[in-house]
Structure 1
Amino acid sequence: MAQGSGNVLLDQLRERLAPAQWPLPLARLPEGTALVGGAVRDGLLDRLQEQPDLDLVVPSDAIALTKALAQELHGTCVVLDAERSIARLVLGGWTVDIARQDGDRIEDDLWRRDYRLNAIAVSLQPWGELWDPTGGLSDLQQGCLTAVSEANLIDDPLRLLRGLRLMAEIPLTMSSQTMAWIERHAARLPEAAPERILAELQRLVRGEHADAAMAALTSLPLLHPWAAGGQPPTPGNIDGLTSEEAAEAVPLARLTALVSDEGLSQLRASRALRQRCKRLRSWQQRTGQAPDALPESDRLQLHEELEGDLPALALQLPMPEKEIWLRRWRNAEDPLFHPRTPVDGNGLLTALEVEPGPRLGRLLHHLKLEHAFGRIQTPSEALKEAQHFLTRESEAL
């Protein structure tokens, strides 16, 4: 359905999209170009980011157009799908995906999309028409998530997971029919590229409304091939954390609860992310709600391995233990929560003439342990304890 340019909704949408601030001048786009998908949806909801990702549909060869625009505007063209004529134009911090229209009319293209609230388009060249053939505006007003069709979901199985990600980012209620379709075809999700699946999950766990989305996700068999079966943090677990701490700790704890170590490997997560989740999972299992009961050497190891991610472990602690742990962790000088030695390896080499190697490593570990639990504090005390340690080792030989 097309609406005139005088429509209040269109005027409001144009103000929010602010196309004059885009690095891509509308005059450079061919007649018949339309903006579709997330930017239109988020513009209507007034939740646009400062530099939103833009998805354009053009009536002609999208790859040739993108290459020409990249050359003219000094950007970069990345071909995403040569067969379907889809390319990405990167201009500074902006990403513009340009695709050839699927079908003879823009309405045909929109009927092939995943969810009705993503199947809304606005014409850019010329500006002034809004298309909503599937009822996406009504879904936005009612906070409903409805798939355009069952066939569209399985045309790209990643769409099965994308619905839950949208629920995590926007307060939406999924229609029962859509939920049934996702459940029916959940086993097809592995057909999607693993990197794309992980990217959706990482956005999901960071979503403002992720708790509701994760409840729906865990009730579906979507993640069975990679599932960890853990318990994600509840809203009550977040008490005591600052907003900045929660923004880092909660997504990590959610992802660790959702996806197993092997699952993260299969989804081609980075080595750093796999290690963070593996360490968190290990210490969650080892400590439960009583990490203070660990032996000193284990406590030191915990804080060495989880120094940056300790708030994610603290999520499972009861009050007031959580408050104590977080207060100590926020203190960069706390010798246990931020383990270090009063004297570094170079200082020991100079003062004690100890050779580099395993013996020096054992000495540093010992000094770090003694410092962590307050038995040494100053460099002179550390050097004195180092001499005692080396003497004891020599006598034990």
Structure 2
Amino acid sequence: MHIPARPRQAPIVAGGLPADELAERLRQRLDLPTWPLPLHLLPPGTALVGGAVRDGLLGRLALQPDLDLVVPTGAIHLCRRLATSLGGSCVVLDRTHDIARLVLRGWTIDLARQDGAGLEDDLRRRDYTANAIALPLGGPARLVDPTGGLDDLRTARLVAVSEANLQADPLRLLRGVRLSWELGLELEVTSGEWIRRHAASLVQVAGERVLTELEKLAAVPEGHGGLIWSLEQGLLSGWGADPSASGRLRSFTPEQATACGLAPLERAWALPLARLAALLPAEALARLHSSRQLQLRSDRLRRWWERLEGRPDLEHLPESRRLELQQELEADLPALLLPLLPAAARGYLTRWRRQDDPLFHPMPPLNGDQLQRELGLAPGRQLGDLLHHLTRERAFGRIPEADPAGRAVAIDTARAWLGRRRD
């Protein structure tokens, strides 16, 4: 899942710097000489636009940022030529609008033909003013900002360029919510009204694109708030989002994850997974063309949350249910634990992190081949049932872990089980 960049440097946009000094500071922060793409290979009039400019101004620039370049013409042809000469690869993204992606030494560089008569025309056709700032790559450092994006960044506001621009690509509605929560920018009132007004049109967007935005939003530390806002404004109704998800999402916070004992790396994947599972049933994920794996993970989490509703821990579950839970959610247990009592969750996580814990990582003490050799069994359902029984006995401590004692007890247990089956 997508994990957003965290602020790494102080923002430079709020310092009241003159425009030319601000542009020079941004160029230094972007560290152009370290790019894998030599600037002299780019045509005159090339400009860096979008997220890298915005994030550089806000101090959120990743170590290896995705770069969006606007060129006067011939973006696809240029991309192919650069890929050949520099040893990268070219992916055509949109033939109609002349957009291609250069993948080069681990960097992603999108090249797009200028939309309109000039760079300012191109910027005026973008989604939000924060994304409509350009840094031309030739000549003295300067910023091109025809929509007032710098002032909006200085006042920590997210402002749509125009209602028509949002309508031109309805994914921009959901992107605005994500940017607001990810960047800590307050969504301007009129822009928020436009998003509400056209919320139903999000269903016109390809499911894969919607899911990508939702994954990015779910990965934002406070992204549960943005998901709740989107749900309440009707943005996700057409995609089959769970209308009752708000209550559960409100508990899927970084604070709750920390209280439950999740380590930072565990929080980074468990919180987004839990949020998506709470929001999107498996059938909604299927409509969004998610992977089958994500659909299964979401379905299992939702099913077990329902079974555990109102329970502070897992201790009330009978052995058969508890083993079933551990087998189905062995890999995703941190996400399951978020609604539980934090003290209980911390204890379970301690055991889950031990790969040799027989309940939290259940497996039989003997495999099928060993049982066939020791007991003369044939492959089939009986063997499968016996393996399940031995797994349960081991999980709840009735077969010791130590060899050879554990092996001997396991074989005796298997013989006793077979004897009962014959009686």
Task: Quickly name the TM-score band, shorter chain normalised.
Answer: over 0.9
| 1:89 counterpart SS class | strand
| 2:133 paired residue among 111, 114, 120 | 120
Indicate the residue corresponding to 1:316 in structure 2.
339
| 1:275 counterpart SS class | helix
Indicate the residue corresponding to 1:200 in structure 2.
213
Which deviations, in whole Å up to 9, do the C-alpha atoms of 1:37-64 show, x marking residues without a partner? 0010011112111211110000011111
Q: In the alignment, is residue 38 of structure 1 matched against residue 51 of structure 2?
A: yes
Cα deviation, residue 80, structure 1: 1.0
- State the distance in 1 between where 2:206 and 2:49 align: 23
Cα deviation, residue 204, structure 1: 0.5
Structure 1 residues 6 and 197, CA gap change in structure 2 (3 angstroms): closer
| 1:352 paired residue among 357, 375, 383 | 375
- State the distance in 1 between where 2:140 and 2:219 align: 34
Cα deviation, residue 5, structure 1: 11
The amino acid that maps onto 1:79 is V
Q: In the alignment, is residue 132 of structure 1 matched against residue 145 of structure 2?
A: yes
- State the distance in 2 between where 1:6 and 1:43 align: 15
Cα deviation, residue 127, structure 1: 5.2
Q: In the alignment, is residue 13 of structure 1 matched against residue 26 of structure 2?
A: yes
Q: In the alignment, is residue 154 of structure 1 matched against residue 154 of structure 2?
A: no
Conserved 8 A contact 2:20-2:142 = no
Indicate the residue corresponding to 2:420 in structure 1.
392
Indicate the residue corresponding to 1:278 in structure 2.
299
The amino acid that maps onto 2:96 is E
| 1:98 counterpart SS class | strand
| 2:397 paired residue among 356, 362, 374 | 374
Query: Which structure 1 segments of 5+ residues have no match?
Result: none
Q: In the alignment, is residue 49 of structure 1 matched against residue 62 of structure 2?
A: yes
Alignment of 1:1-397 (within 5 A): 7-126=20-139, 128-225=141-238, 226-228=240-242, 229-230=244-245, 231-232=248-249, 233-235=251-253, 236-238=255-257, 239=259, 240-288=261-309, 289=311, 290-377=313-400, 378-395=406-423
- State the distance in 2 between where 1:46 and 1:29 align: 26
Which deviations, in whole Å up to 9, do the C-alpha atoms of 1:191-246 show, x marking residues without a partner? 11110100010011001331332332232100002212322134342212221221
Conserved 8 A contact 2:69-2:112 = yes
| 1:320 counterpart SS class | helix
Structure 1 residues 260 and 127, CA gap change in structure 2 (3 angstroms): farther
Query: Structure 1 length as normaliser, TM-score?
Result: 0.95
The amino acid that maps onto 2:320 is S
Query: Structure 2 length as normaliser, TM-score?
Result: 0.90
Aligned CA-pair RMSD: 1.6
What is the aligned residue count? Answer: 392
Deviates more, 1:239-248 or 1:356-365: 239-248
Conserved 8 A contact 2:101-2:108 = yes
| 1:292 counterpart SS class | coil
Cα deviation, residue 129, structure 1: 2.1
| 1:97 counterpart SS class | strand
- State the distance in 2 between where 1:117 and 1:34 align: 16
Cα deviation, residue 6, structure 1: 8.7
- State the distance in 2 between where 1:244 and 1:268 align: 27
Cα deviation, residue 335, structure 1: 1.0
| 2:372 counterpart SS class | helix
Query: Which structure 2 segments of 5+ residues have no match?
Result: 1-16, 401-405
Deviates more, 1:358-367 or 1:337-346: 337-346
- State the distance in 2 between where 1:175 and 1:111 align: 18
